[in-house]
């Protein structure tokens, strides 16, 4: 079924039509939340919340206002992710950080234990640096760096000007550089 038809039906309460919309967009929404929150359970929660909010928001969604359905979903997801991170940070950050670090030890490229330990260490440092960013900066950085959305798209999802997105991105990268610079030097990483 064509997306516009699904939207029309879902708006009238047809949950099967909404399911089709969910199936078409779930990976992208989950991926955005996951790259941002870096935690599967939280990302799944945000993904579900995004679709629930979207369903209830559908009667007010107007594609003719220039925002297509997927951008509209991204907006809801961006907002929900930022909210989730805020709540999450309020909790005991330290204990969560440790938990995250162990969770992040995804299968590494190398089976060499030494390399794995080093990769883990890098991940840990990077995560600590990312945690120093404000939720908004982290979102902008995640979208541009890991999700490869353009600045123009990010500005659309965050309803901001491209100039302000550039400014935030610049600050985010500067913060990360400041935090990781020493590690890059010590480690003789590259160069």
Partner 1 sequence: MDCKTAKSLIILGLYGELDEGEKRDLEEHLRRCSACAAELAETKKVFSLLEENKPAVLPEVDWEKSWDKIRGGIDRRPAKNEQSIFPRWKWAFAGASLALVLGAGIFIGKYGFAPAPKPAIVSIPASSGPTSVQQAFAGYLEDVKPILLDYAHYTPGEKNGRRITVDENILRGLVFQNILLKRKLAEKDPVAAELLDDLDLVLKEITNRGTQDPQSPAGIKDLIVQRDVLFKLEIMKKL
What residues make contact with partner 1 under the rule CB under 8 A?
15, 18-19, 22-23, 26-27, 30-31, 34-35, 38, 40, 44, 47-49, 51-53, 55-57, 59-62, 65, 67, 72, 75-76, 79, 82-83, 86, 104, 106-107, 109, 119, 122-123, 125-127, 130, 144-146, 150-151, 158-159, 166, 169-170, 173-174, 176-177, 180-181, 183-184, 189-191
Closer by beta carbon to partner 1, 48 or else 70: 48
Q: What is the DSSP letter of 106?
A: P
Contacts with 37 (C-beta within 8 Å, 6 or more apart), sequence order: 43, 46, 81, 84, 85, 88
Crossing angle for the helix pair 93-103 and 113-131, to the nearest 10 degrees: 140
| Coil, helix or strand at residue 188 | coil
Tell me the closest approach of the beta carbon of residue 60 to partner 1, in angstroms: 4
The helix (H) or strand (E) run that includes residue 162 is: helix 162-187
Closer by beta carbon to partner 1, 70 or else 119: 119
Tell me the closest approach of the beta carbon of residue 30 to partner 1, in angstroms: 6
User: How many degrees, rounded to 5, is the angle at CA 71 between CA 85 and CA 87?
Assistant: 10
């Amino acid at each position: 079924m064509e997306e516009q038809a699904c939207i029309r039906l879902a708006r009238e309460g047809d949950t099967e039509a909404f399911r089709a919309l969910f199936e078409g967009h779930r990976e992208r929404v989950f991926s955005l939340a996951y790259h941002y929150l870096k935690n599967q359970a939280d990302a799944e929660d945000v993904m579900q919340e995004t679709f629930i909010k979207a369903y209830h928001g559908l009667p007010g969604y107007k594609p003719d206002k220039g925002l297509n359905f997927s951008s509209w979903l991204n907006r809801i997801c961006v907002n929900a992710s930022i909210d989730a991170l805020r709540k999450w940070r309020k909790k005991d950050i330290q204990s969560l950080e440790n938990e995250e670090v162990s969770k992040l030890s995804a299968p590494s490229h190398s089976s060499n234990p030494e390399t794995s330990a080093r990769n883990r260490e890098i991940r840990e440092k990077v995560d600590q640096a990312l945690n120093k960013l404000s939720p908004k900066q982290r979102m902008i950085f995640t979208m541009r760096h890991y999700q490869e959305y353009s600045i123009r798209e990010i500005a659309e999802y965050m309803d901001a000007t491209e100039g302000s997105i550039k400014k935030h991105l610049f600050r985010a990268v500067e913060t990360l550089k400041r935090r990781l610079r020493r590690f890059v030097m010590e480690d003789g990483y590259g160069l």
